[in-house]
Structure 1
Amino acid sequence: MTILRSFYTDTISMDKWKELLFNCFSFYRVFWNSCFYAICISLLQIILGIPCAFGLYMINNKITKCFVFICWLIMLMPPQITLLPNYIGLRDMGMLDTRIGVVLTMTFSTFVVVMVYQYLKGIDESYVEAARMETSSIIKVIWYIVMPTIKPAVLALFLFSFTDSYNMLEQPMFFIKDIRKQNLVIFISKVADTGKMFFPAAVIFMIPLIIIYMVVVKSIDNSILGECKGKRVKVLNIILIGVFWVLMIFFTFAGRSIHDMQLVKVMTYTPKTQMFSQQKGKKTKLYWLPYQFAKNDTYYIVSDNVINGEERTCANRISLDIGEAQNGHYPILNDEYNGETLIVKRNGRILDGEEVLIVQKLQQR
């Protein structure tokens, strides 16, 4: 239903997709932020959680069991409880409004520790003891003996961790004020009221999760069965995944260029002032235009308007009263005109308030 509604306004069209992909460049930034947060947090949780769980498994006394029970309790607590302590810690370390700060608050996961610990309890200790007789490196024991054994559990935990961090809302909302560092969840919550870009953004939001699910589930099946089945399906999945990421990278770098190609190209001119003779010999300082720009039918001033979260150069129509020439200079008689930059040449029709592309700024001689 979300996919269908992304193509439907009053009729079937691509207007919503065009608005998102070619006129909302903040979308790409928050999309890659979400991928960065999810990948970093998931990997760090796995990298830190496995050694912690292995240490608890090897010691295995009353103290470790008590620690595991505490981890269970922490895991059952809602994450909102830790927002204030994390905020105070990041503030004291000067890491508020940084991407690293968000990643740091989500790095350690008791869920990963508890789940890996429970899975390790099903491993025969003789394998670990035999490996420890061959090497004194705990890292080698974990990598060569423990990891192959718990690979399905690790992949499943990576899927849960990636999904959780990809969907996180509270941490970026409270710890980050710069919209350039926020994630896709916050972006979707902001555009939900307008509805124009909501459904296309929601469709793209779901695709990385579907990709991760497909890859992880297939890897779990292969690790359990010890063989790879459905090679044609696997190749097709790789092609579809590759196409998606190539398109996202392409639109990220080429989206603005495609957008600029559709804009009206304009030349601008900023008038200067000089003294002009008025009635009864009085002289007044007025803005003036040269001859080639004084005979235009319509005039537009250039202003910066916020469109989709960023400032864009727009054209706003203005009515100018041009006086008689003095020494080749045509005075602007409007009292409300304060020297704003004017559009003096354009290669197409401009609507009032429409975004334009400045290709040349003309200077007075």
Structure 2
Amino acid sequence: MRKRGKELLILALLLLPALVTVLPLFLLLTGSLMDVQEIRERLMPVFTGEGSFFFTAIPDYPTFLNYEKLLLETPQFFALFWNSMRMTGAVLAGQLLVAVPAAFGFAVYKGKGSRLLFSLYTVLMLIPFQVTMLSSYLVLTRLHLMNTQWAVILPAVFSAFPVFLCYGGFSAIPQAMLEAARIDGAGEAGLFLWIGLPLGRGGICSALILGFLECFNLIEQPMAFLDDKSLWPLSLYLPQISLNQAATAFCGSVIMLIPVLFVFGLFHDDLEQGIVYAGLKE
């Protein structure tokens, strides 16, 4: 009986943070099904500071008109959505071409000072965007890339974070396997393509998933480097919505979650494996 009570207590302690995490998503879905008048009545105290804010789990009059308006009458939403997808896709493709070979080189080709060099390289992950914003602005201006989507894409392509994640997966490859392949006549490109990529799949997928989540929700970089609102990603469009457009914001946020949930559901096993590799010590 005591053991059963202990298990129930542990379960309750685990469910509490889970509920705190899920509750905002549930309220987001609920808000997307409310009509405009009901949302205005419930959110007015947040904007005016007068009265008490309250929110219900179930709308008084559920409706899908908000989704209809957003999907059929708001072309700006689709334009910014595809801006987000285009920039995210370009960043991930660039990281595959840059970060994955770099991580393989750090993990496989050991030399004097290689560990120190990798440690110094990964320190770049600790530098916030606010520190490098001015230098990035000057470089991008000199390259005539300001107010273009490349101003957001190129700095993200050369991020140190995907290199760090992929490094753990490649480090787990036995050196004896690589040496045996070299003896059998495999070149360095063959080692990377036929041994490195399959065995380092966990780290690569985790880097791509976390990179997708980061790039799809970028706010500071587009805000700093993009003046033309037609180039903005969807992550900048939603915060601009006022109380009268709150219903649209709820629906847009729900739709914006769909690609994230799809990617996470498809590759969550590889994400866990990659995070495990990243935490391993040599």
TM-score by length of 2: 0.73
CA contact (8 A) 1:53 1:117 kept: yes
Report the alpha carbon displacement of residue 145 of structure 1 after superposing the two structures with TM. Answer: 0.5
Partner AA of 1:66 in structure 2: L
| Rounded Cα–Cα distance in structure 1 between residues aligned with 2:227 and 2:198 | 42
Equivalent residue runs for 1:1-365 within 5 Å = 1-9=27-35, 10=38, 11-135=61-185, 137-191=187-241, 193=243, 194-217=245-268
Secondary structure, aligned partner of 1:196: helix
| Rounded Cα–Cα distance in structure 1 between residues aligned with 2:154 and 2:187 | 27
| Rounded Cα–Cα distance in structure 1 between residues aligned with 2:103 and 2:272 | 24
1:89-108 superposed Cα distances (whole Å, 9 cap, x missing partner): 11111111112222111111
1:300-333 superposed Cα distances (whole Å, 9 cap, x missing partner): xxxxxxxxxxxxxxxxxxxxxxxxxxxxxxxxxx
RMSD (Å) for aligned C-alpha atoms: 2.2
| Rounded Cα–Cα distance in structure 2 between residues aligned with 1:159 and 1:121 | 20
| Rounded Cα–Cα distance in structure 1 between residues aligned with 2:225 and 2:184 | 47
| Rounded Cα–Cα distance in structure 1 between residues aligned with 2:68 and 2:269 | 34
CA contact (8 A) 2:222 2:232 kept: yes
TM-score by length of 1: 0.57
CA contact (8 A) 1:43 1:158 kept: no
In structure 2, the gaps of 5 or more residues are 1-26, 39-60, 275-282
Report the alpha carbon displacement of residue 218 of structure 1 after superposing the two structures with TM. Answer: 5.6
| Rounded Cα–Cα distance in structure 2 between residues aligned with 1:66 and 1:105 | 23
In structure 1, the gaps of 5 or more residues are 224-365
CA contact (8 A) 1:53 1:113 kept: yes
CA contact (8 A) 2:165 2:206 kept: no
Secondary structure, aligned partner of 2:113: helix
Q: 1:221 to 1:171 in 2, by over 3 A?
A: closer
Partner AA of 1:5 in structure 2: G
Cross-structure match for 1:301:
none
- Percent sequence identity over aligned pairs: 23
1:240-292 superposed Cα distances (whole Å, 9 cap, x missing partner): xxxxxxxxxxxxxxxxxxxxxxxxxxxxxxxxxxxxxxxxxxxxxxxxxxxxx
Partner AA of 1:7 in structure 2: L
Aligned length: 223
Structure 1 outlier segments of 4+, above 3 Å: 133-137, 218-223
Partner AA of 1:45 in structure 2: Q
| Rounded Cα–Cα distance in structure 1 between residues aligned with 2:258 and 2:151 | 26
More strand by share: 1
